[in-house]
Amino acid sequence: MVSEVRIRVPLDILSLVSDSLKNKLSELELEIKVAKERIRRFEEKYGMDSDSFLRKYEAGSLGDDEDFVAWYGELMFLKEAEREYEKLKMVIEAIRRGLSK
């Protein structure tokens, strides 16, 4: 469900909000890059891709090894960070469109 909210905001404030969101987007890009690298190392170390790992982990066939818990945590973090990244991109684009009117 998509909701739309319209508010009147001074352009300098809107520009400040946009810049802050762009900074957050840059932070997320870095966090996503780091998480992907950590995940790649787990895949390399254990010789399996993350999809296979998830199936086995969620089925309980891998146990609760510290690495597996960390790998699972990285995958969940990555999924949420990518969702947030896409949402922020949409908000920034909406602000950009609003500034160009």
What pLDDT was estimated at residue 1?
59
Owning domain of residue 53? 32-99
Does the pLDDT value for residue 31 go beyond 70? yes
- Is 64 inside any structural domain? yes
- Is 16 inside any structural domain? no
Q: Which two tokens stand for residue 17?
A: 């909000």
- Is 61 inside any structural domain? yes
- Is 4 inside any structural domain? no
For 61, what's the count of Cα atoms within 13 Å in the CB-facing half-sphere?
6
- Is 19 inside any structural domain? no
Mean pLDDT, rounded, for 13-20: 86
Q: Which residues contact 51 (CB under 8 A, 6 or more apart)?
A: none
Does the pLDDT value for residue 101 go beyond 70? no
- Is 90 inside any structural domain? yes
What pLDDT was estimated at residue 27?
97
- Is 26 inside any structural domain? no
When divided into structural domains, the chain yields a total of 1
- Is 9 inside any structural domain? no
> Which H or E run includes 98?
helix 66-99
Rounding to the nearest 10 degrees, give the CA dihedral for residues 32, 82, 46, 69: 100
What pTM did the predictor assign?
Answer: 0.83
